[in-house]
Amino acid sequence: MPASTIIVQFRDGSPATSKRVVLGFSSGQTDAAFTDRTGRVVVEHRSVGRATVYVSGDDVGSFSAPGTFAATLR
C-alpha cells in the first residue's frame, strides 16, 4: 500500500506533536494518523495522485502522493 510522510511544525520550527493528519483524495479520505514527537507521521493510502492535507481539520495544502509534504502551522 502506498504511504506518504507528513511533517508538521510550528512557525518557530518546533515539531507539532500529536496532531491529527488526514489526506483527502478525489476518491475519499484516509484514516486519521497522528504526528509523533518529531512532528512526523506516515499515512498509508490506497489512492495516488493529488492529495489535500488536513491537520486537525484545517486544509494546510496539497501534494502529489505518495510523497513527502511539510506543513507549517500558524
Q: What percent of the chain has pLDDT over 70?
A: 100
Closest C-alpha among 43, 34, 33, 42 to residue 16: 34
* CATH number of the 3-73 domain: 2.60.40.1120
Whole-structure pTM value: 0.96
- pLDDT tens-digit map of 9-38: 999 999 999 999 999 999 999 999 999 999
Residue ranges covered by each domain of the chain = 3-73
- Cα 73 from Cα 31, distance rounded (Å): 21
- Cα 12 from Cα 66, distance rounded (Å): 27
Quote the distance between the C-alpha of residue 32 and its chain's center. Answer: 9
Cα dist from 15 to 1, 24, 38, 57, 64, whole Å: 27, 22, 5, 18, 23
Give the CA count within 13 Å in the CB-facing half-sphere of 52.
Answer: 12
